[in-house]
Structure formats: structure tokens, C-alpha cells
Amino acid sequence: MRNVLTFIMAGGKGERLWPLTKHRAKPAVPFGGTYRIVDFTLSNCINSGLRKIHVLIQYKSVSLQRHLRMGWQIFSSELGEYIDVMPAQQRTGDYWYRGTADAVYQNIYSIEQEQPEYVLVLAGDHVYKMNYAEMLAFHQAHRAEVTVGVIEMPIARAARQFGIVQVDADGRIVGFEEKPDVPAPIPGDPSQCYVSMGIYLFNRELLQHALVGDAQREESTHDFGRDVIPAAARNVRVMAYNFKDENKQAAKYWRDIGTLDAYYEANMDLVRVTPLFNLYDRAWPIRTYQEQWPPAKTVFADEESGRLGLALDSLVSNGCIISGGRVERCVLSPDVRVNSFAEVEDAILMEHVEVGRYARVRRAIIDKDVMIPRHVEIGYNLEEDRRRFHVTESGIVVVEKGTVIEEPRAAVSLSGT
């Protein structure tokens, strides 16, 4: 895949994931205990043989840049391999990235310098497994100028949620709509439609011509899905590539984790006995950066008092200590401590979270650097939680990074006697 140059769009604000994106870009949000969301796209690149990668960043990028620097500088420059982090630099005007197409256009010099045969554009905030080499083979076999990665989805689920690709009987794209009320069905299957995955493979010369033309159109939103792809479909051969899942489960797995509830559900799926997404597949490893934490530890004190030090159906990362508390159906990032008599259920706890004695947490997302004092309850009284934290439509309590939580007065009084 040395003839392919890859751009990963990693500058999204992720407004619907606030407050998880209050201090970081969406691709840098932790997922599955030890990973960041961007790790899944990057791992797909490595596993597909892609070794020339530009990561385009913009908003709140410090955390993402640090993660890429510490965990992904694994390429050999002597062999022409690289992963470059490219912030908006106002190279083409006095503005930042105005859309996905404009982000690549502002870095068009890198395409001209590299002179690849193909350019692959990917989203950095989706979770899935895909071999991009197979997409390239499809692109070449069908003599396409542009190929768009798509996934089949029930029309009722896709309506008003995703960009919809309309194809003819040969799989050629003839239309594209952004979040329509009534998606166009797949030919021969009125119950299903094709959802765009935000994956675009271009012949280089066609892409350069399209980007220059789009930059000159004042009415354009400078977005691949809204502007560039529909314009190309009217003039050149644009094909839809039906997603082939390397996850190798009964149902195809692709998640655009755009909301807090979707983020929570995707994490909770990982603790199932048979999760939909397999993190343990050695044939398709997911790579990340991990600090040198000691092994996870459980501390059993005595069963009669309830100090069990127990973790059931949970992902427990290195550095965690479950010291006499109970954890069930949880995702624990590194360096989490659950103290005696504490109960944590159906929750996501990120790095450096500590749960005090007798505290109870359920159906919650606790961001980094939060100390939950003893006797505090989160997820048991949503009216009270709404006064202190963010609560989603489905009742998931989200505690933002570094929140200072006061100890209940009853517990303070008790400690003073």
C-alpha cells in the first residue's frame, strides 16, 4: 500500500459527547478502558499495510497529540513511512479548517509532494475493523475514480441520523443525502439503505481537481459528503464499497459514537460474555499507548463484613486496585481504586478515579481525576444528580474531568464523633 496516502480527520469538536469533550477532541476520548477512539482507525491502517498517514487536528488537540507522540511513533522514516500530525495552519487563507474537504485542501501541498496514486480519507472517531487493502482492490477492479465505504442499515434506524448513499443496480453512486427523513433504499431491498462510513478513496488527480474546484465555490460547505462526493458522482465513476467486517461476528460492527448514550452502550457491550466487538483477536490487534502501570489487584478482606474486593463481568485495566469493594459490569481505565464496601455497577471509570468507602455508583461515566468521597451516591437519585452533574436522556450520569465532589454531611458528622 505504498502508493496510498492516508488522511485521518481528527479535529472534530464532538459537541454531543460533552462534557467528555470539554477538555479533549472526540478522537482522544478514552474507550474500552485502555484505548482512545482514534486507535481503532489507526490500527486498521497498520493492519491494512498503510504506512503514510497524516492526522489532521484542530480543536482541543493537546491530549490527542500527546497520545500520538507517545504511542504511535512506530514508523521508519528511512523506509518512507510516517505519521504526521497536521494542525490547521491557515495555509490557504485566514481561516481554520472549514469542513472535511477544506481540511485536506489546506494540506494539498502534501499530496503534491508525495505524488501517491491514491488518497484515502478516514474519520478518526469511529470504532470498527476494516481492511482498506480490500477496498483498494475493489476500487481498482471497478475502475472507479472515487469509492465510498458504506454499511447496510435498516431504514428506520438510519433516518435523520446518517448520510445516505443512493446507488444503482451496479453499485454506482447516483445520489447522496445528509440525514434525510426517508433514506433511499438499496436496490432490491426496500428495508435497508446504505449509510456512508466517512471513508473515501480517491484517484489522486481527481481529488486534486475536485478540491480546487470546491474551494472556489462560495456556496459550498467544503465537506466531502455534502459537496465533493455528490459533485463527483455527476461527472465521474463513483462506486459504493459494501463494508467487509474484520471483526468476524454475525452482524457487522461499525459505531459512530456521536452521543453519550451511544458511547456508554458501546463500552457496556465490551463486558458481555460474548461482546459484539472483539478486542482479543490476535489476527487483528488494536494498538494503543499504555503507561507502565503494575498489574490490577483485588484485595479480599473478610466475607462476613462484605469487604470482598470483587470484579464481575468487567474490564479491569492495569494499575487498578479493588480494595474490598464490588465492581460489576464496569469498564475501568488504568489507576482506578475502589475502596472497601463501595459498590460500582454498570459504569465507566476513567484514569485516576477513586471511589471512597461505602460510596455507590451505577449507570454512570466518571471522567479522569475524580475522587468520589465515602457514602456518596451517583446514579440512584437522578433529580439530585442533575443538580450536580450532566445526565443523559436515558439516565446516564456523566461526571466531568476533575470534578470536586463534597462528602455528604452525615458522613462528615459521623467521622467527627
Task: For residues 359 and 244, state if they share a domain.
Answer: no
Neighbours of 208 (CB within 10 A): 17
Whether residue 281 is contained in a domain is answered as: no
137 neighbors 48 (Cβ within 8 angstroms): no
Q: Over 50: is that where the pLDDT of 211 sits?
A: yes
Query: What per-residue confidence (pLDDT) applies to 301?
Result: 72
For residue 402, give every residue at least 6 positions away whose Cβ sits within 8 Å of its Cβ, in sequence order, or none: 367, 368, 369, 370
86-109: per-residue pLDDT in tens?
887 766 666 777 889 999 999 999
* Cis previous bond, 19, omega within 30: yes
289-310: per-residue pLDDT in tens?
999 999 999 998 776 766 788 9
Whether residue 289 is contained in a domain is answered as: no
Calculate mean pLDDT across residues 173-194: 91
More confident residue, 145 or 251: 145
Torsion from C-alpha of 202, 203, 209, 214, nearest 10 degrees: -10
Q: Over 50: is that where the pLDDT of 372 sits?
A: yes
Q: What is the phi/psi pair of residue 313, to 5°?
A: 50, 50
Task: For residues 100 and 241, state if they share a domain.
Answer: yes
Q: How high does pLDDT run on average in the chain?
A: 91
For residue 398, give the CATH number of its domain: 2.160.10.10
> Of the candidates 378, 397, 302, 312, which has an alpha carbon nearest to the alpha carbon of residue 341?
302
> Of the candidates 177, 119, 106, which has an alpha carbon nearest to the alpha carbon of residue 145?
119
Task: For residues 255 and 305, state if they share a domain.
Answer: no
Domain that holds residue 305: 297-416
Task: For residues 148 and 257, state if they share a domain.
Answer: yes
311-325: per-residue pLDDT in tens?
999 999 999 999 989
Whether residue 287 is contained in a domain is answered as: no
Task: For residues 12 and 110, state if they share a domain.
Answer: yes
150 neighbors 183 (Cβ within 8 angstroms): no
Query: What per-residue confidence (pLDDT) applies to 416?
Result: 47
Whether residue 278 is contained in a domain is answered as: no
> Of the candidates 325, 275, 256, 277, which has an alpha carbon nearest to the alpha carbon of residue 297?
325
Q: Which three cell numbers stand for residue 251?
A: 452482524
Whether residue 150 is contained in a domain is answered as: yes
Q: Over 60: is that where the pLDDT of 223 sits?
A: yes
Task: For residues 99 and 212, state if they share a domain.
Answer: yes
For residue 157, give the CATH number of its domain: 3.90.550.10
Number of domains in the chain: 2
Beta pairing, strands 189-203 & 185-186: antiparallel
Task: For residues 191 and 79, state if they share a domain.
Answer: yes
332-370: per-residue pLDDT in tens?
999 999 999 999 999 999 999 999 999 999 999 999 999
Tell me the C-alpha distance between 160 and 385, whole Å: 30
* 295: exposed, middle or buried (Cβ count in 10 Å: 0-12, 13-18, 19+): exposed
How sure is the predictor about 409, in pLDDT bands with cuts at 50, 70 and 90? confident
CA 413 to chain centroid: 44
